[in-house]
Structure 1
Amino acid sequence: MEDSSIIIKVLHFCTVCLFLPSAVTHTLLYLYTAVRSGINFSEFSAVGLMDGEQCVYYDSNITKMIPKTEWMQKISTDDPDYWNRETQRMRHRQDQFQDTVAAVRKSLNINGGVHTLQRMYGCELYDDGTTRGYDQYAYDGEDFISLNLTTGTWTAAKPQAVMFIKVWDPKGAKAQYWQSYLKSDCIDQLRKFVSYSRETLERKVPPTASVFQKHSPSPEVVCHATGFFPKAVNITWRKDGEDVNEDVELRETLPNQDGSFQKRSILKVPAEDLQKHTYTCVIQHSSLKEELVLYVNEQQITKDGGSGGWKTGVVVPVVVVAVLVAVVAGVFIWIKKKGSGVQSPQVQTGAELHPLNTPHSDVPV
């Protein structure tokens, strides 16, 4: 039960902190997770994502930085010793982060039990050339401290964190370093990664789609699109050619394991209406020359979420389980910031794990 509680807290933190706005062109994000021994997970893991796609991975069991995309692997072509240096750098980061874990536990007077400390930091590059950075920590899935990038100081999310900040960063050196780093070095690094990944990130892959009907707890029709890239997609409903805006639930866009994306829209509609009217699901994506229209026909749509939808080749995944496994394993996804007073990061982060053409330095953590 205790292990399950920790997993739930990890999921809570990951689902309330970040959301990728449409105005962002590129993002770089890193997530560190430290878990006190007692459950079957690595004590420390680090995941890097660029534009929502996992690009690197490290944990305390393998103790090695692993590139997760083709374009990240190309870096070693220009710099053969790059991944060895990054492995050494991350081992150092692991030691620093676990020291932070000990400091947090001491400040909170916590002894025993299974607990997690997470850190998310990174930067964003917008269409208009403006940038943004962020850095925040959570303990057991709840906000703990965050960096105010304007003032270069830490903000405590709870009273216990105030004393922690005074002891952990008494002169504000860590805060000032990361303020500078996120405003300049992180953005430079993000642009460097864009140059390596441009071919991959600028590809266009059309979606495959299906419609299926669900009957519980109330009748509804689901339109599911998957396998598309880039992320931006528009799914709408029409009734007899007219747009339908009521009784529609548009879900978040989620990543697939191959780097593509999936999204679904749910329309609540009585069965008798399906017989009297013509309903269509309309999908618009940059890869399509014209919008993709799926007709909802009660005799032809798949019942109860089967996989044989209107368009072939679509398998509807069990999204909730996939997200659970991905987050706990460190494969971080786009997430939404809750409405609190804490400075809200709005992207996926990135940063010091891959400083290209920068000398090794002991960065405060």
Structure 2
Amino acid sequence: MRKALLFALILFGVDWIFAVSHSLQYVYSGTSGIRNLPEFMIVGLVDGEPFVYYDSNIRRMTPRQDWMAKSEGPDYWDRNTNKSRIHEQVYKANIETAKRCFNQTGGIHTVQMVLGCEWDDETGATGALEQFGYDGSDFIALDFKTMTYVAPVMQAVPTKQKWDSGNARKDRYKSYFTQQCIESLKKYVSYGKSTLERTVRPEVSLLQKDPSSPVTCHTTGFFPKRIMVTWRKDGVDKHSDVEVGETLPNGDGTFQITSKLTVKTEDWKMNSYSCVVQHKSLQDDIAVLLEEKNIRTNQGGLPWGIIVGCVAAALALVAVVVGVVLWRRNRTGYGKAGTSDTDSENSSQLQPTA
């Protein structure tokens, strides 16, 4: 379960490869060997916000946003429930197939697919992503520029050869990404416009457990998710001795992030250090100067419980995404497509071949 929780945090911390106005993403995950976790899950996200969910325990596609529940009728949920149940059976078989490919028997294993598209409503630019993973590592991904597959492991080569030679599959996917996905993305954005396009200003605090500890710039309560937090020394961006954490959900629809600076007290007292936050909700950057009066410490009744509480709230969302692995190493990213939703109809494509 500990590993599963880590997977959930990884999911929440993943951003799209480049900045866009809107994105639609479906994550399919089949698991084995993880107790108290559904063997199959689908999470749909619009602009990084979960909006639909299915797992092998509830066995029904359900809304995760009020605007989605109000906008779609019974036919939508029945149709996507039926598709999800089919994918559930496929993924259970895929786990066993993948284990044979890698000569594995027991243990914890995961098969994942992330499928999605993005659309810039200002420029009209679009992109798409289809990528598969096994046990948290890349398995195979589609290069949309060449419409061929990239196989980073030898076990995926037979699958690559099969899919590269299948013109019918390529045509179907090209049509999907250039039409259906973008159309569905636009529809969902129109449903949730008041939520997805809102902005909430971040709150920024400097925290330190004790004088010998790193100084943490804690930024919380912001929306949308994309944010830039940097440290500056004498007005110049500082990259060394800086550790930026993942962007995590707070549980109330907003996000938080921390950036730690390791610096000696005498150094920051002799120089000008500041934490600078850039966000869509701000007309001007927030810059908090690193000086004693701006630092909260344990001795001063530092509310570290706030951070712990935020993480706990994030984990409360595990019911939505726990167990989903989004691998971050060697990601192919988005390839520019023409202009496309999945309605959960593509997860059956991961078929590792011995």
Give TM-score scaled by structure 1 length: 0.77
Q: Which runs of 5+ in 2 are unaligned?
A: 350-354
Whether the aligned pair in 2 keeps the contact of 1:32 and 1:44 (CA below 8 Å) is: yes
Specify whether residues 303 and 336 from structure 1 end up closer, same or farther in structure 2 by C-alpha distance, changes over 3 A only: farther
After superposing the two structures, state which structure 1 stretch, 288-297 or 192-201, moved more.
288-297
Q: Answer yes or no: is 1:224 the counterpart of 2:215.
A: no
- Superposition pairs of residues 332-343 of structure 1, within 5 angstroms: 337-339=328-330, 343=332
- Superposition pairs of residues 14-93 of structure 1, within 5 angstroms: 19-37=15-33, 39-76=35-72, 79-93=73-87
CA-CA distance at 1:251 after TM superposition? 3.8
Q: Answer yes or no: is 1:99 the counterpart of 2:88.
A: no
Q: Could you tell me which of 325, 330, 342 is aligned with 1:352?
A: 342
After superposing the two structures, state which structure 1 stretch, 43-52 or 141-150, moved more.
141-150
Q: Answer yes or no: is 1:161 the counterpart of 2:150.
A: no
> Aligned partners of 1:315 and 1:31: how far apart in 2?
30
> Aligned partners of 2:4 and 2:161: how far apart in 1?
30
Q: What is the DSSP-based 3-state SS (H/G/I as helix, E as strand, rest coil) of the residue aligned with 1:316?
A: helix
Q: Could you tell me which of 289, 294, 306 is aligned with 1:315?
A: 306
Q: Answer yes or no: is 1:259 the counterpart of 2:253.
A: yes
Q: Answer yes or no: is 1:208 the counterpart of 2:198.
A: no
> Aligned partners of 1:302 and 1:363: how far apart in 2?
48
Specify whether residues 177 and 316 from structure 1 end up closer, same or farther in structure 2 by C-alpha distance, changes over 3 A only: same
Specify whether residues 151 and 176 from structure 1 end up closer, same or farther in structure 2 by C-alpha distance, changes over 3 A only: farther
CA-CA distance at 1:180 after TM superposition? 2.5
Query: Residue 125 of structure 1 corresponds to which residue in structure 2?
Result: 119
Whether the aligned pair in 2 keeps the contact of 1:337 and 1:346 (CA below 8 Å) is: no
Query: Residue 145 of structure 2 corresponds to which residue in structure 1?
Result: 150
CA-CA distance at 1:239 after TM superposition? 5.5
Whether the aligned pair in 2 keeps the contact of 1:9 and 1:140 (CA below 8 Å) is: no
> Aligned partners of 2:244 and 2:343: how far apart in 1?
35
Tell me which protein shows more helix as a share of its residues.
2
Query: Residue 357 of structure 1 corresponds to which residue in structure 2?
Result: none
Residues 128-147 of structure 1, C-alpha deviations (whole Å, 9 max, x = no match): 22211121111111211222
Specify whether residues 28 and 41 from structure 1 end up closer, same or farther in structure 2 by C-alpha distance, changes over 3 A only: same
Give TM-score scaled by structure 2 length: 0.79
CA-CA distance at 1:87 after TM superposition? 1.4
Whether the aligned pair in 2 keeps the contact of 1:56 and 1:66 (CA below 8 Å) is: yes
CA-CA distance at 1:11 after TM superposition? 7.4
Q: Could you tell me which of 186, 189, 193 is aligned with 1:194?
A: 189
CA-CA distance at 1:39 after TM superposition? 2.5
Q: Which runs of 5+ in 1 are unaligned?
A: 355-360
Whether the aligned pair in 1 keeps the contact of 2:131 and 2:142 (CA below 8 Å) is: yes
Query: Residue 245 of structure 1 corresponds to which residue in structure 2?
Result: 238
CA RMSD of aligned residues (A): 4.0
Q: Could you tell me which of 274, 285, 297 is aligned with 2:279?
A: 285
Q: What is the DSSP-based 3-state SS (H/G/I as helix, E as strand, rest coil) of the residue aligned with 2:216?
A: strand
CA-CA distance at 1:190 after TM superposition? 0.8
Whether the aligned pair in 2 keeps the contact of 1:255 and 1:333 (CA below 8 Å) is: no
Specify whether residues 155 and 321 from structure 1 end up closer, same or farther in structure 2 by C-alpha distance, changes over 3 A only: farther
Paired-residue identity, %: 37
After superposing the two structures, state which structure 1 stretch, 80-89 or 185-194, moved more.
80-89
Specify whether residues 168 and 124 from structure 1 end up closer, same or farther in structure 2 by C-alpha distance, changes over 3 A only: closer
CA-CA distance at 1:157 after TM superposition? 2.2
The aligned amino acid for 1:190 is: L
Whether the aligned pair in 2 keeps the contact of 1:103 and 1:168 (CA below 8 Å) is: no
Whether the aligned pair in 2 keeps the contact of 1:123 and 1:131 (CA below 8 Å) is: yes
> Aligned partners of 1:276 and 1:13: how far apart in 2?
38
Q: What is the DSSP-based 3-state SS (H/G/I as helix, E as strand, rest coil) of the residue aligned with 1:163?
A: helix
After superposing the two structures, state which structure 1 stretch, 259-268 or 219-228, moved more.
259-268
> Aligned partners of 2:57 and 2:48: how far apart in 1?
25
Residues 290-316 of structure 1, C-alpha deviations (whole Å, 9 max, x = no match): 44343433256222599847xxx9922
Give the number of aligned pairs: 344
Specify whether residues 329 and 176 from structure 1 end up closer, same or farther in structure 2 by C-alpha distance, changes over 3 A only: same
Q: What is the DSSP-based 3-state SS (H/G/I as helix, E as strand, rest coil) of the residue aligned with 1:98?
A: helix
Query: Residue 330 of structure 1 corresponds to which residue in structure 2?
Result: 321
